[in-house]
Each structure stands twice: as structure tokens, then as C-alpha cells.
Amino acid sequence: MKQILTRLIPAVLVLCLTLTACGGKEESGAGYDPAATAQALLDSGAFTDTLETTDKDTVAILYGVEADSIVDCACYTSLSAGAEEIAVLTMKDADSAKAAMAGMETRVDDQKTALESYQPDEVSKLDKAILTQSGNTVVLVVAADADKAQSTLDGLSK
């Protein structure tokens, strides 16, 4: 019996380690860190408007998602009612990330409609809006210099 246990214990340990290794890295769903990404974008010089932070409940309303589906977020909108905006949302799962992306697309379309009559210069920023998804994280960037913003995002992508 002792001989069987002596052979069985190492085999069980190897099996446990193998199963743990096979599990791989757990998908956190986070491709971008919201706070770090938003700060890097703010620091990039891609924006001409002064941007103000927006709370999670307002973010949920802006993008038409449930607040409890947002795991983490960083969002900044223009103080001048212009188009410039940063939104980095980590959602709880793939379905909520898909819904957030759809909400961001709707937001861009709605902003175009709203701004075309009284701030037509802002519409060109919306035409160059950056919408991207990495894992369960969705990103919207509307900047004066979309190329600079995209370059910043490219430097952060994992």
C-alpha cells in the first residue's frame, strides 16, 4: 500500500500541475487599462478641448448600457459641448462589450446629427472617431488629431 501511495502522490501532483498549466491565462477581458489609457490619451496632445471626467452612471447613459455591466471605466467629455471625447470601458463579458460598442457607434452618429447645425467643425472630428475593442474593453476616442490618438493607442495595445 505504501508503495502505491509513493507512486500515486507524485503522479497526482504532476497531473494537478499539468491541468493548471493547460488552463492557461484566464481571460480577464481587459485589453486596455481604462485609467492609464485615458491618461495617456489626455497627455498625447491630440485634444484641443478641455475634457472633464464623467462618472460611471453617466457613462452608462451615454452609451446605453447597464451600469452594473461596467467593471471599470474612464470617460472624459468636452466642457465646451464639442465632440472631443475619450471613453475606455471594461465590461463584464463579451455580450456587454458588444452592447457598449454598439452604444458608442450610436453616440457618434447622434453627436454628428446634434453638432452639424451649430458646430459643423466638430463633425470632422466625429468622422475620424476611433472605435476599437480588445477583449472586453471598448474604446471610443474623438480627438482633434485622430492620428496622434491612434498612435497613442497603438503604443498601449497588448
Pairing label, strands 70-78, 130-134: unpaired
Segment 93-124, tens digit of pLDDT: 999 999 999 999 999 999 999 999 989 999 99
What end-to-end distance do the CA atoms of the chain give, in Å? 51
Q: How confident is the model at residue 80, as a pLDDT? A: 87
Residue 133 has pLDDT above 90, yes or no: yes
Share of the chain above pLDDT 90, in %: 76
pLDDT at 63: 96
Domain ranges of the chain: 29-156
Return d(Cα 74, Cα 86) in angstroms, integer: 8
Residue 5's pLDDT band (boundaries 50, 70, 90)? Answer: very low
Q: With CA atoms as reference, report the closest residue to 94 among 117, 71, 118.
A: 71
Would the pLDDT of 7 be above 60? no
